[in-house]
């Protein structure tokens, strides 16, 4: 049963994750993360109004979650070093965020309650005192610096956003492929998508389908292709 969580005011993916974990009274570990993967993905899919950059954050986390989930479904699955690092990184970040969220709650209890006032302002005794570093050129330079700093800040976020597929797109794509071809290898399927994150998403979307009984997957060798074929079910269940 999916756990309902408020979806109105989430700042980021960790908040969603922690709420889901806490709602199930679990501790932050692999098991808990595997457990909440579906609800998390549902949550991401339900959001239509994320800014592009935040969506990228949410989906990147989804990919790592699906990785953990896949391991729980296929214990033999070997993570690459990079995948392992992603999983460990996510766990550390979640643990740190858990503390930060607690800290923020503590601060919200005290912030602004008993403001310690600054000394009252006195009319300053004005003495005209220019300085050696003051010149028209220095002013022009200072303003140029301020303007340049602003531009740098404004350009940063855009540069970090790379176009990513949505989970929904990946799943739809996968479902269609499975329907059209009775047998399809995962390598073949993932060939079309170069971005590693897309491969993970497609692979794990596939695992979801496996779990839902839509297709049966057999992995013949540990690092070999995963063969996908239709099961007895007549249609592919739509995820979500």
Partner 1 sequence: MLTPPAAAHALLFASGGPLPKKQLAKLLEIKESEVKLVLKALTDSLKNSGVVVVETDTEVELRTASEASVIVKKLRESELARDLGKASLETLAVIAYGTGTTRGEVDWVRGVNSSTSLRTLLIRGLIEGKEDPADKRRIRYSLTTEALAHLGITHIRELPRAEELSGAAKAIIEAESAAAAAAEVAE
Residues that bind partner 1 (CB under 8 A): 9, 11-15, 53-54, 57, 61, 81, 85, 88-89, 92-93, 95-97, 99-104, 106-122, 124-140, 142-147, 149-150, 153, 156-157
Rank residues 136 and 222 by Cβ distance to partner 1 and give the closer one.
Answer: 136
Nearest approach in angstroms of CB 153 to partner 1 is: 6
- In sequence order, what are the beta bridge partners of 229? 183, 216
The alpha carbon of residue 48 and the mean position of all alpha carbons in its chain are separated, in whole angstroms, by 15
Nearest approach in angstroms of CB 163 to partner 1 is: 17
Nearest approach in angstroms of CB 209 to partner 1 is: 28
DSSP sequence for 124-183: P-------TT--HHHHHHHHHHHHHHHHHHHHHHHHH------HHHHHHHHHHHHHH-SE
Nearest approach in angstroms of CB 195 to partner 1 is: 20
Nearest approach in angstroms of CB 231 to partner 1 is: 37
Rank residues 114 and 180 by Cβ distance to partner 1 and give the closer one.
Answer: 114
Rank residues 54 and 225 by Cβ distance to partner 1 and give the closer one.
Answer: 54
Rank residues 14 and 186 by Cβ distance to partner 1 and give the closer one.
Answer: 14
Nearest approach in angstroms of CB 240 to partner 1 is: 23
Rank residues 87 and 205 by Cβ distance to partner 1 and give the closer one.
Answer: 87
Q: For residue 118, give both structure tokens.
A: 């600054």
The alpha carbon of residue 160 and the mean position of all alpha carbons in its chain are separated, in whole angstroms, by 14
Report whether 68 contacts 37 (CB < 8 A). yes
Rank residues 14 and 239 by Cβ distance to partner 1 and give the closer one.
Answer: 14
Within 8 A by CB and 6+ apart from 201, the residues are 59, 62, 63, 66, 165, 167, 170
With 0-12 / 13-18 / 19 or more C-beta atoms within 10 angstroms meaning exposed / middle / buried, residue 172 is middle
């Amino acid at each position: 049963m999916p756990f309902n969580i408020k979806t109105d005011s989430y700042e980021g993916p960790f908040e969603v994750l922690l709420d889901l974990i806490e709602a199930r009274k679990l501790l932050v570990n692999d098991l808990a993360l595997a457990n909440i993967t579906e609800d998390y993905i549902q949550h991401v899919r339900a959001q239509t109004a994320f800014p592009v950059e935040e969506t990228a954050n949410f989906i990147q986390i989804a990919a790592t979650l699906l990785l953990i989930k896949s391991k729980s479904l296929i214990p033999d699955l070997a993570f690459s070093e990079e995948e392992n690092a992603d999983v460990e990184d996510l766990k550390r970040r979640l643990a740190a965020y858990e503390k930060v969220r607690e800290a923020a709650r503590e601060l919200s209890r005290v912030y602004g309650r008993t403001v310690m006032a600054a000394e009252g302002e006195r009319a300053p005794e004005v003495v005209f005192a220019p300085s050696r570093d003051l010149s028209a050129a220095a002013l022009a330079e200072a303003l140029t610096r301020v303007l340049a700093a602003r531009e740098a800040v404004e350009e940063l976020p855009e540069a970090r956003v790379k176009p990513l597929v949505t989970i929904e797109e990946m799943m739809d794509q996968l479902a269609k492929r499975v329907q059209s071809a009775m047998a399809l290898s995962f390598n073949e399927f993932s060939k079309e998508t170069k971005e590693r994150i897309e491969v993970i998403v497609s692979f794990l979307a596939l695992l979801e389908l496996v779990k839902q009984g839509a297709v049966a997957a057999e992995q013949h060798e540990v690092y070999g292709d995963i063969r996908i074929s239709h099961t007895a079910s007549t249609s592919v269940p739509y995820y979500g």
